[in-house]
Structure 1
């Protein structure tokens, strides 16, 4: 038994999916198209442990571009939004606002990308629109799965 599938839920679902798509595409693209994966042997051999960021090697650069970039956390953020939505819990409004602000600041600092930032702005907008009429607080169910604080 879940929350009814309303238009609000669909907006949040699509917003979460766009965020997952963005994070996945960035990470997989860096590993494959940018060739970051060819440095995996260096990453897992401990050769980066004493390297300084100021003198970034190609292996360290590839690491920061791929598995230590914002891509994996974006996937987790999008999956969290989807998880909340499936349970009828509206995501907190600070998520789309903060994500949108981050994209705007990044665009001001580095210039517009090839359109990839539009995915995050669209995802943020969809989530914000989907949570616009959601209650400010949600009572979580009691039970063995409930958080104990």
Structure 2
């Protein structure tokens, strides 16, 4: 569970994400797992949106998504068909970074605008170990 101001993010055991606030006694389900798992949440600097990773099944393709703090406007930000995960916000909220991994064992750190457009590879690494995605300030 992550506390940010008066809003609380709860990563549920069922691999869904829920958002709660003092004014709302019952947490609101932000994502529902269905046939996938939602994990690795990261709040935007303004707390108005959330990045998370969605994986369809264990070992399957994963994508980075964005959803509003109210649980609305869910949108996939990474291209379908690649393993994308570990999305984080830049300190000003204008960009995101995430990691991709391909079947050739190449990991890449990608930087894009907050809406997922303009993606560019910032670094790539050969092998199964990649550094965590983060922005340095």
Shorter-chain TM-score: what band?
under 0.3
Higher helix share: 1
State TM-score, norm by structure 1.
Answer: 0.23
TM-score, with length taken from structure 2: 0.24
Q: Which has the higher contact order (CA 8 A, sep 6+)?
A: 1
Which structure features the higher share of strand residues?
2
Q: Larger C-alpha radius of gyration, 1 or 2? A: 1
